[in-house]
Amino acid sequence: MRGSLSDQSLIYLQIASMLEDDILRGVYREEEQVPSTNELARAYNINPATAAKGINLLVADGVLYKRRGIGMFVAPGAGEKVMEKRRAAFYESYIRPLVRESRSLGLGGQALLDLVSRAVKEGENDL
């Protein structure tokens, strides 16, 4: 879990996002229990209802599920679900801003594609 929250986006979204990151990192594996709303509220000094909202978001997305009387658990296939969600959002959150930024820098479509190819190649070399 990351240390603290920023005021750059709504708290419950940050909570959901942090849990997703941890699931991708393997901090919480499938069928493992995640922190309860009260534990999250205590850790970040936030209202339990806000923490609950973040968790409910992940439940609605099928990333977490509830075992009555026990708590919230990572659903089977949660990792893939998070990936899918992020891939779907990837276009809106990364690609479009990238295109807008490049346009404002005066880079044409081809120049941008060249930059992207270069970055992909560098990435492959690093691996």
By CB under 8 A, is residue 83 in contact with other proteins? Answer: no
Size of the site for other proteins (CB under 8 A): 21
- Is residue 68 involved in binding other proteins (CB under 8 A)? no
- Residue closer to other proteins, measured from CB, 57 or 74: 57
Neighbours of 112 (CB within 10 A): 16
State the distance between the two ends of the chain, measured CA to CA, in whole angstroms.
Answer: 27
Ranges of H-type helices in the chain = 11-25, 37-44, 48-60, 78-90, 96-104, 109-126
Q: Which stretch binds other proteins (CB under 8 A): 6-14, 17-25, 68-76, 79-87?
A: 6-14
The minimum distance between CB 87 and other proteins, in angstroms, equals 20
Among 23, 28, 35, 50, binds other proteins (CB under 8 A): 50
Query: What is the contact surface with other proteins in residues (CB under 8 A)?
Result: 5, 7-12, 38, 41-42, 44-50, 53, 96, 100, 104
